[in-house]
Amino acid sequence: MMRRRNLLLAGAALVAACPHAALARPAKLALDQLYDPPDLAATNFAAPVRALAGREVVVEGFIAPHASGNAPFHIVASRQIITCPHCGAQAMPADALVAYVPPRDAPLPVGRPVLISGRLELGSARDVTTGFLSTARLRDAQLVAS
């Protein structure tokens, strides 16, 4: 009986010490609502998206195919993309962002729905390895589900 009481008291003390721990889930980011209004120039982020900058978010989308297997990032879009979106004349879709996922043993599932989490960065930035210019990125991204 004493053990149970001590365990309950310890749990209550932990919750009191970290009241926001249970609420620290990543916010959901809808890719089709990145810009306001939907903006092909990718310059005017929607207010709810700007409020998420620097925070951990989760994104539901599709991994686009990559022409280069050694690029340090992947493109995540709200819809399936058949060809590499940054190769040739095809432009990066407005409903997409770049996800920097650490190297993995298994490739990310191209063309299948995925959930990816990471810290949201907004604003123009050029990838130092490839020179690719992006306006929205997930840093320290992780595949949550596929």
Residues 13-30 pLDDT 10s: 444 444 444 457 899 999
Residues 6+ apart with CB under 8 A from 16: none
Torsion of CA 32, 33, 37, 39, to 10 degrees: -50
| pLDDT single digits (tens) 34-90 | 888 765 556 789 999 999 999 999 999 999 887 666 678 888 999 888 777 666 655
Mean pLDDT across 132-138: 90
Cα 134 to Cα 106: distance, rounded to the nearest angstrom:
25
Give yes or no for residue 122 having a pLDDT over 90.
yes
DSSP letter string over 33-76?
Answer: GSBSS--TT---B-HHHHHHTTSEEEEEEEEPP-S-TT-S-EEE
Contact 71, 108 (CB under 8 A): no
Domains of the chain, with CATH numbers?
A: 26-145 (2.40.50.140)
pLDDT of residue 87: 65
More confident residue, 56 or 112: 56
Q: Residue with structure tokens 């890719």? A: 31
CA distances from 102 to 69, 81, 138 (A): 13, 22, 11
Mean pLDDT across 93-120: 87
Cβ atoms within 10 Å, residue 50: 12
